[in-house]
A and B are shown apart, each in its own frame.
Chain A
Amino acid sequence: MSTERTSPTDRTETDGGTLEFIRSKLEIFEGDRLGQIGLGILCSFILIGIFARPYTIDFLNLTIPGLAPHDPAERAVGGRLESPSGAHPLGTTHMGRDVLSQLIAGTRVTLIVGSLAAFMAVFIGTNVGLISAYFGGWVDDVLMRITDIVYGVPFLPFAIVLVAILGSSIVNIIVAIVLILWRSTARVIRAQVLSHKQRPYVESAQAIGASHTRIMYRHILPNVLPLTFLYAAFAVAWAVIAEASLSFLGFGDPNMLSWGEMIYNVYTANAIREAWWWVFPPGICIMLFVMSVFFIGRTLEKEVNPELQHQ
């Protein structure tokens, strides 16, 4: 079958090595300043998130120190509402907690919500889009009407109600986000698959008697995968913004302090006017994190849609 394209996965197997694969993927960032900046910021946040709190390896009797200088929940490590000083580089909260430690620990929540919610949303969205477009007919009709209905549900209000029902935990927040977020991926992937369905490589696969699942996941999916990655990047951004907004409104997980929740605490402590060191760092972190994902998304977008590239 000469018309059949080799999928990206096939290519890696022949070229050998995961490292080589990653390197070939990173090539798209070459000469793209914004993309590189985004990648740099995102990697820093991931490292901070991983090493936020100390790890203890029992059998080696070893403790890897965490980046956070204090326990973020410990009260009165400093005075109340202290402005930044050597001991507390970002000052303290109204309970005397260390802001910098809270900020570092909060990175984790953002990373967890961003990655899990985006993965699940894109997983559902891609499957819905793929199945819908591939089978067409009533399957397409049903799935797309469901997508339309989800488009009619306002995102944040729905998340608020669902979290109020299920309880404020990080799992429920992720579920609430995923239930809405898959819709855009589904529509875009469907449109893309519709155009791929007509191409010769799908026909030839059908002619040699490949099963539906095989054609869908082995032949078509690799071709729409770049678009999936792009929407995953957007999904990370929207998920993080949604979590921050939910937490800011007081619906965050009380056991996992996130950046949005920090700002909620400033608000409820009525300290927003004086404690700039408590308000600004979490906000800037949210902004930087989302920005880094959008910058990376822009680079992916050029890859997906070469017309955008500057001629």
Chain B
Amino acid sequence: MGLRAYVVRRVLQLIVTFWAFFTILFVLFRMMPGDPTSMFIMDGMTPEQREQRIAELGLNEPLHVQYVEYARQLLRGDFGQSFIYRDPVIDIIAVRFMNTIVLMGTALLFAYLIGITFGAIMGWWRDSRFERGGIIVTLVARSSPEFWVGIVLLSVFVFWLGWFPSSGMRTTGGELGGNFAARYGSVDFLRHLFLPALTGAIAYLATPTLLMRSTMLDVLNADFIEIKKAEGLPERTVLFKHAARNSVLPLVTVMAIATGSAMGGSVVIETVFNWPGMGREMVNAVNNNDYPLAMAAFFLMGSVVIIMNFVADLAYVYLDPRVEYE
């Protein structure tokens, strides 16, 4: 199979996956207990008004009609209206989505930077005390659930040392900048970002570190490393320029898996730090039976994971000419 055929096949697969994911989403949320109007009953809604509301939402239609209608809405980027906020879901979720991407993107970036460096050095100094200690540290980091890392950081750096603000994304009453740079570039924002991003970085550090270490071990056995050493290049040059660069490739594939766990992790980390992101919004929405909002959040998280899987597969065949398309 050539590259073109592979890409076509992979795109078809992407579409099927999306459709299946959408169907799971639809079935799950139609099974949800408590109907969406239960939140309004407290407002003194009469049974007639309730019927009317259900009709408005299209919930009295047969299921297959609802399914097609919902699919059509999604394709238009219309997620419906939030029951709680009474605003279009898309307006609420778009901001939250950006906040989550900024937070988890930073966390993953840190995790990969630290993991690659650390893993490369661990592979280079094989059997050293540094390597053994490094493995233990990595395994301990991997063993800690995100919320636990968050709580420890919170206790040490906020409650004890008082270096960072405890929660939220910016100090209340702080300037809300209009453009992207002003929103996400201010010192106040970065101070709020640091701890939650560090939490994510610690939680996701293990996979790149251990993988980098083991591919380094493979690469270091290769002949060209011996040649580079024989050429008399300084150790640092051989390590970072030749060995490490050739070990980075497999990390591309686990990037997709890392993004997947980061999407799940955002739920927990955002709850610990009160970060106004998609994950925390989803937990609140589920607790409040706010289906449209919860569905949209879930859909976006799944989409990120599915698309990242797709990108990782394509990047891999593009980056490594030796890969055969199965």
- Residues of A at the B interface (CB closer than 8 Å) are 34, 145, 148-149, 151-158, 160-162, 164-165, 167, 237, 241, 244-245, 248-250, 260, 263, 272-273, 276, 279, 283, 286-288, 290-291, 294-295, 298, 308, 310
- Structural contact, B139 and A295, CB atoms closer than 8 A: yes
**B301 interfacial contact with A, CB 8 Å:** yes
In the assembled complex, which residues on chain B have CB atoms less than 8 Å from the CB atom of A290? 142-145
Partner of B302, one of A153, A164, A273: A153
Partner of A160, one of B143, B152, B282: B282
Minimum CB–CB distance from A218 to chain B (whole Å) comes to 29
Minimum CB–CB distance from B299 to chain A (whole Å) comes to 10
Given A148-B17, A291-B139, answer yes or no on A154-B260 (Cβ-Cβ < 8 Å): yes
Given A161-B28, A248-B147, A250-B287, answer yes or no on A152-B268 (Cβ-Cβ < 8 Å): no
In the assembled complex, which residues on chain A have CB atoms less than 8 Å from the CB atom of B33? 164-165, 167
**B136 interfacial contact with A, CB 8 Å:** yes
With most chain B CB atoms within 10 A of its CB, the pick from A237, A290, A298 is: A290
Dominant SS among interface residues on chain A: helix
Residue of B nearest to A284 (CB): B148
Binary A-proximity of B1-28 (CB < 8 A = 1, otherwise 0) = 0000000000001001100110010001
**B159 interfacial contact with A, CB 8 Å:** yes
Given A157-B298, A249-B268, A263-B147, answer yes or no on A276-B155 (Cβ-Cβ < 8 Å): yes
Minimum CB–CB distance from A172 to chain B (whole Å) comes to 12
Residue of B nearest to A308 (CB): B214
In the assembled complex, which residues on chain B have CB atoms less than 8 Å from the CB atom of A291? 139-140, 143
**B261 interfacial contact with A, CB 8 Å:** yes
Q: How far is the CA of A260 from the CA of B148 in the complex (A)?
A: 9
Q: How far is the CA of A294 from the CA of B135 in the complex (A)?
A: 11
- Structural contact, B267 and A286, CB atoms closer than 8 A: no
Minimum CB–CB distance from A212 to chain B (whole Å) comes to 24
Q: How far is the CA of A248 from the CA of B294 in the complex (A)?
A: 19
Q: How far is the CA of A170 from the CA of B58 in the complex (A)?
A: 34
Residue of A nearest to B142 (CB): A294
Given contacts A156-B268, A245-B146, A250-B287, could you give 19 more A-B pairs where the C-beta distance is less than 8 Å? A34-B136, A149-B17, A149-B20, A152-B17, A154-B263, A154-B264, A154-B302, A157-B301, A161-B294, A237-B143, A245-B264, A260-B145, A272-B151, A272-B155, A279-B155, A283-B148, A290-B142, A294-B143, A298-B135
- Structural contact, A157 and B267, CB atoms closer than 8 A: yes
In the assembled complex, which residues on chain B have CB atoms less than 8 Å from the CB atom of A165? 28, 31-33
- Structural contact, B29 and A154, CB atoms closer than 8 A: no
**B255 interfacial contact with A, CB 8 Å:** no
Residue of A nearest to B203 (CB): A241
Given A161-B29, A287-B143, answer yes or no on A153-B24 (Cβ-Cβ < 8 Å): yes
In the assembled complex, which residues on chain B have CB atoms less than 8 Å from the CB atom of A244? 145, 147-148
A-B contacts, 20 of them at CB < 8 A, read: A145-B16, A148-B13, A148-B17, A153-B21, A154-B264, A155-B260, A157-B279, A160-B282, A162-B28, A164-B287, A165-B28, A165-B31, A250-B283, A276-B155, A283-B144, A286-B144, A290-B142, A290-B145, A291-B139, A308-B214
- Structural contact, B267 and A249, CB atoms closer than 8 A: yes
Minimum CB–CB distance from B293 to chain A (whole Å) comes to 12
Minimum CB–CB distance from B121 to chain A (whole Å) comes to 17
Minimum CB–CB distance from B214 to chain A (whole Å) comes to 7
**B82 interfacial contact with A, CB 8 Å:** no
Partner of B264, one of A155, A167, A276, A295: A155
**B306 interfacial contact with A, CB 8 Å:** yes
Q: How far is the CA of A149 from the CA of B301 in the complex (A)?
A: 14
In the assembled complex, which residues on chain A have CB atoms less than 8 Å from the CB atom of B306? 152
- Structural contact, B154 and A286, CB atoms closer than 8 A: no
**B249 interfacial contact with A, CB 8 Å:** no
Q: How far is the CA of A157 from the CA of B285 in the complex (A)?
A: 12
Partner of B268, one of A158, A162, A248: A248
Q: How far is the CA of A273 from the CA of B31 in the complex (A)?
A: 39
List CB contacts (< 8 Å) of B243-293 with chain A: 260-261, 263-265, 267-268, 271, 279, 282-283, 286-287
Q: How far is the CA of A83 from the CA of B283 in the complex (A)?
A: 32
**B320 interfacial contact with A, CB 8 Å:** no
**B199 interfacial contact with A, CB 8 Å:** no
In the assembled complex, which residues on chain A have CB atoms less than 8 Å from the CB atom of B24? 149, 153
3 closest Cβ contacts across the A-B interface? A156-B264, A290-B143, A291-B143
Binary A-proximity of B222-255 (CB < 8 A = 1, otherwise 0) = 0000000000000000000000000000000000
